[in-house]
Amino acid sequence: MKLSLNWIQDFVQLPNLSPKELATRFTLGTAEVEEVIEEGLFWRSLRVAEVLSVNKHPEADKLNLVTFSLGDEQRQVVCGASNVRVGLKTVFAPTGVTLPIGLTLEPKKIRGVLSEGMLCSEEELALANESEGIIELPADAPVGQAMNEYWQKSSDIILDVDNKSLTHRPDLWGHLGLAREFAALFERPLNIPYSAEWMNKMQGLQNTEKSPMTIHMKGDSAGIGYFGLSVDGVQVTNSPNWMQERLTAVGLRPINSIVDISNYVMLELGIPLHIFDREKIQGDQVVIHELTEESSFRTLDEVERTLVPGDTVIADQRGPLVLAGIMGGLESGVSEATTKIFIEVANWKASRVRQTSTRLGLRTDSSQRYEKTLDSQLLERTLWRTLELVLKFNPNAKVVGRLEYDGVDLSNSKGLELQLNVDKARRTLGLSESQLSNQHIQTILERLDFRCSPEGHNLKVAVPSYRATKDIECEADLVEELGRVVGYDHVLPQAPSLPIAPTRLSLTQELHRKLRDFMVLHGEALEVMTYPLVGKKLLERALWPELDQLVLNNALSQDHNQMRPSLIPSLIEAVSKNAKHFDECTFFELGRRYLPSTKSFSEEENHLALVSYHHKKTPFLRVLNKAERLLRASNIPYDLALLNLAEGQPKERHSLVDWSWPGLHPYEVTSVRVMGKHQGLVFSLHPLVMRQFKIKGHVSVFLLNLAPIEARPLKDKTKYQPLAKFPGSFFDCTVVTDQTTAVQSILDALKPLKNMKELQRTQVVDVFLLNDSEKAVTLRTEFLDQEKTLSGEFLTAAQNQLVETLRVAGFPLKA
């Protein structure tokens, strides 16, 4: 919203501050000024010049050196205009001036001769689209006079205020309301010409003739109140310069005297209005009603619009004339032939106007104001002000009949009264009594048109009706009025006194931090974050079974229209993108997956995923090792369930994947059970799904459901074992087995020996191929007794027992 400081000065005398200072105070006290525009200031620098001599430029045929007088001094410029001649009076622009066409004059030499500015053409001053030669002023133009005086050009300062910062202030959508803010901020008196006497005078213009147009408002409509007045004998012309200038300055295009008046009054008083050509209304009544069936309507902007049941219109016998609160119709608008008018000033329900305007995508100056909730008490004043201007421009026009009204009874509206605890207000703001005295509080509120009366420690505050529509509703709102007018820069920062208590992260947050750190430091993985929103196409590509769950109503694109049921599809997509740039990569994400729930609409779980890609060799074991190390280091109680999906799927369901998902590699897959349930999975991506994403190489994934782990404290179960006082003994042996045997199964074959307390552990030293079908596996076993040194006899017997156990299990010693 643009505001003109000239216009503001109709109501309040602004202090002598620079435009920037005024704007800063307004920003700090009321609403953000986004831009300060100085309008027409250049006229003050332009002066009437009289040409004294014209000489050819020494180095350019088409240029002249022109000397001219400004009365008190002489100047010289280089000029190419053909009409320049001795005695001509024209307009001189000195260097430093920015012309309306955007050109800033700088001192420069033109072909070696210094030019001290410019003699202007109409085109250069934006007075004409094109012009030949420089301006020729009448012979009596006073030499040296500034052009703003000679042509009576005004200048103005325009503040462009951020509309968003005015959303809650319907009273600031007109200059009078804005002027009240300046009056309060700068402690200046506010002069409102629209007094009670003025209202009386205007009301006296009604007469006893029958009103040619009456009003009927139907109860179901969006209407709150509707005033209408008929005026005859109007002549539609151009509005006077001052009005055109003001409208232009705040960004509205002047159209004709009547339309300009309606815009002008709206911008002055903040209430939109509409003026009909009364002769284009069929019948003698306008009816305000809600549409019951869909219909088509051509608005002023010449667009055919579809109206639906529920939209409110102002209609005559034929049909809609105006879309209530939004825009008039093309048919009933004022034209140059109009002589009889009907002035409408109405109030509409904010939400209804907003609904219709949002649906139509039609946001107008009018709808923008109505959707802020306007005050019906201001309607009548707005109408009289409109009439005042109509009569001013058309002295012969006359009111026909009386002011017509239909709508809610406006006479007995009870104002809002609030209690303000002044001590509490000061405490909340953090201001002392010397910074904000009781008297000061009262002054501020009264300048803003609140009426105050002391009531014990409190102040009883009557809120002006135009602030009570939505903006001011409780004590805190009054505190804001005080704070912003005093200025928050008076509030000094202060640390509160608070009891000291330990503050820790939650168990979940601690776990997340640990996991992240592990992944970065030990997982050697880069952390990524992908969209929680995915598209059906991606899920289908990943052959993911859960599609179209938690779909958005108003997604921006089909690629992000539903909540991801798993991190996997997004991460496979990430691999496919990165495989173009990297031969190998490892990354992780700690993010949420979303599932529909019959109980609570949706459920969210945190999942951790580590993904590793290598273009040549499978990273499965690397990922598995990282996973196991992470589980151990994080004190997560787990066990690994080796799977062979080629032989069938496990019976228990997995919390992360459907066992039938084709993305699982038949052999490179291990489930992580946490507290007996499948909550984690290490797997390689099946070539089938790899192909879907055009990934060449190998991808392995570790996925962990954090939900069952987050809630409980993960205990560090480390128990210290005293170091052995007696030496242990190592025994290596090599067994032969089939090439396809899993080494773990050889170790598992030693389970029968688990009661031999001296057997500390058996580990694999080496595996090597013997031939096409067999391999040799070297095992190392440690025997140790905490109490004594083991005897040779014992060791021999134990070793024999070990070898025998292996043999029985089908793992004979290598010969």
Partner 1 sequence: MIQQLQKLYEAFCGRLKSLSTQADILNLKAEYLGKKGEVSEVLKSLKDATPEERKSIGPVAQEIKDKILSDIQNALTALELKQINDSLARERLDITWRDAIKAEGNPTGGHHPRWLIQKEIEDIFLSMGFEVLDGPHIEDDFHNFEALNIPGDHPARDMQDTFWFSDYNPKTGQGHLLRTHTSTIQVRGMLNRKPPFRFIAPGLVFRCERTDASHEMVFTQLEGMMVGEDVSVAHLIYFMKTILKEIFKKEVEVRLRPGFFPFVEPGFELDIRCLICAGKGCSVCKQTGWVELLPCGMVHPNVLKAGGIDADKYNGFAFGLGLDRLVMMRYGIDDIRHLQSADLRFNQQFKTY
Q: Which burial class, exposed, middle or buried, applies to 597 when counting CB atoms under 10 A from its CB (0-12, 13-18, 19+)?
A: exposed
Taking CB under 8 A as the rule, does residue 553 contact partner 1?
yes
DSSP-assigned letter for residue 99? P
d(CA 322, CA 343): 13
3-state secondary structure of 772: coil
Nearer to partner 1, 496 or 792 (CB): 496
List, as one string, the DSSP characters of 584-644.
EEEEEEEEEEEEEETTTEEEEEEEEEEEEEESSS--HHHHHHHHHHHHHHTT--EEEEE--
| Binding positions for partner 1, 516-535, rule CB under 8 A | 516-517, 519-521, 523-533
Q: Which stretch binds partner 1 (CB under 8 A): 38-46, 255-263, 340-348, 556-564?
A: 556-564
CB 299 within 8 A of CB 323: yes
How far apart, in Å, are the Cα atoms of 361 and each of 244, 351, 353, 358, 522? Answer: 29, 15, 12, 5, 54
Site string for partner 1, 632-671 (x = CB under 8 A): ----------------------------------------
- Work out which of 128, 303, 547, 555 binds partner 1, going by CB under 8 A: 555
Other residues' Cβ atoms within 10 Å of the Cβ of residue 183: 21
- Work out which of 111, 164, 691, 712 binds partner 1, going by CB under 8 A: 164
Nearer to partner 1, 147 or 567 (CB): 567
Q: Measure the N-to-C terminal CA separation of the chain; round to a whole number of Å.
A: 95
Residue 522: CB minimum distance to partner 1, A: 8
Site string for partner 1, 582-621 (x = CB under 8 A): xxxxxx-x--x-x------xx-x-----------------
3-state secondary structure of 805: helix
| Binding positions for partner 1, 109-148, rule CB under 8 A | none
- Work out which of 154, 165, 295, 734 binds partner 1, going by CB under 8 A: 165
Residue 23: CB minimum distance to partner 1, A: 9
**Tokens of residue 157, six digits:** 């300062």
Taking CB under 8 A as the rule, does residue 503 contact partner 1?
yes
Taking CB under 8 A as the rule, does residue 546 contact partner 1?
no
Residue 749: CB minimum distance to partner 1, A: 35
d(CA 125, CA 137): 14
3-state secondary structure of 397: coil
| Binding positions for partner 1, 359-388, rule CB under 8 A | 371-372
Residue 617: CB minimum distance to partner 1, A: 11
| Binding positions for partner 1, 412-451, rule CB under 8 A | 427-430
**Tokens of residue 247, six digits:** 């409208």
| Binding positions for partner 1, 560-589, rule CB under 8 A | 560, 563, 570-571, 573-574, 577-578, 581-587, 589
**Tokens of residue 714, six digits:** 């993960």
Residue 763: CB minimum distance to partner 1, A: 25
Q: Which stretch binds partner 1 (CB under 8 A): 150-158, 292-300, 513-521, 750-758?
A: 513-521
Nearer to partner 1, 331 or 628 (CB): 628
Residue 635: CB minimum distance to partner 1, A: 21
Contacts of 212 (CB under 8 A, 6+ apart): 230, 278, 284, 340, 400, 401
Nearer to partner 1, 396 or 557 (CB): 557
Nearer to partner 1, 154 or 618 (CB): 618
CB 260 within 8 A of CB 380: no
- The stretches of 335-474 forming alpha helices (DSSP H) are 350-360, 365-370, 379-393, 422-429, 438-447
| Binding positions for partner 1, 461-500, rule CB under 8 A | 474-477, 479-480, 483-484, 488-489, 491-496, 498, 500
Nearer to partner 1, 530 or 799 (CB): 530
DSSP-assigned letter for residue 535? -
Phi, psi of 48 (to 5 degrees): -75, 130
Nearer to partner 1, 428 or 437 (CB): 428
Residue 351: CB minimum distance to partner 1, A: 3
Residue 411: CB minimum distance to partner 1, A: 27
The residue behind tokens 């689209």 is 129
Residue 520: CB minimum distance to partner 1, A: 4
Residue 371: CB minimum distance to partner 1, A: 6
- Work out which of 9, 10, 19, 27 binds partner 1, going by CB under 8 A: 27
Nearer to partner 1, 473 or 738 (CB): 473
How far apart, in Å, are the Cα atoms of 356 and each of 345, 348, 479, 573, 630? Answer: 19, 12, 35, 42, 57
Taking CB under 8 A as the rule, does residue 21 contact partner 1?
no
Taking CB under 8 A as the rule, does residue 201 contact partner 1?
no
- The tally of CA atoms less than 13 A away on the side-chain side of residue 3 is 30
Nearer to partner 1, 39 or 371 (CB): 371
- Work out which of 17, 86, 308, 552 binds partner 1, going by CB under 8 A: 552
Q: Which stretch binds partner 1 (CB under 8 A): 229-237, 381-389, 547-555, 682-690?
A: 547-555
d(CA 581, CA 574): 11
Residue 690: CB minimum distance to partner 1, A: 17
Other residues' Cβ atoms within 10 Å of the Cβ of residue 524: 11
Q: Degrees (nearest 5) of the Cα angle 623, 624, 630?
A: 90
- Work out which of 139, 337, 501, 646 binds partner 1, going by CB under 8 A: 501
Question: In terms of DSSP bridges, do strands 327-328 and 320-323 run parallel, antiparallel, or are they unpaired?
Answer: antiparallel
Taking CB under 8 A as the rule, does residue 31 contact partner 1?
yes
Phi, psi of 115 (to 5 degrees): -110, 125
Comparing C-alpha atoms, which of 593, 628, 589, 631 is closest to residue 611? 589
Nearer to partner 1, 271 or 533 (CB): 533
Residue 323: CB minimum distance to partner 1, A: 19
CB 679 within 8 A of CB 708: yes
**Tokens of residue 312, six digits:** 């409110």
Residue 561: CB minimum distance to partner 1, A: 9
Other residues' Cβ atoms within 10 Å of the Cβ of residue 639: 11
- Work out which of 10, 32, 290, 658 binds partner 1, going by CB under 8 A: 32
- Work out which of 241, 509, 789, 800 binds partner 1, going by CB under 8 A: 509
| Binding positions for partner 1, 292-351, rule CB under 8 A | 350-351
List, as one string, the DSSP characters of 346-368.
EEE-HHHHHHHHHHHT---HHHH
CB 665 within 8 A of CB 683: yes
Nearer to partner 1, 284 or 480 (CB): 480
d(CA 178, CA 488): 20
- Work out which of 354, 369, 654, 698 binds partner 1, going by CB under 8 A: 354
| Binding positions for partner 1, 37-56, rule CB under 8 A | none
Site string for partner 1, 223-252 (x = CB under 8 A): ------------------------------
Nearer to partner 1, 25 or 278 (CB): 25
List, as one string, the DSSP characters of 655-674.
SS--TT-TTEEEEEEEEEEE
Nearer to partner 1, 369 or 381 (CB): 369
d(CA 300, CA 371): 20
Other residues' Cβ atoms within 10 Å of the Cβ of residue 154: 15
Residue 722: CB minimum distance to partner 1, A: 36
Number of residues that bind partner 1 (CB under 8 A): 90
- Work out which of 408, 547, 551, 765 binds partner 1, going by CB under 8 A: 551
Nearer to partner 1, 373 or 394 (CB): 373
Comparing C-alpha atoms, which of 806, 726, 797 is closest to residue 764? 806
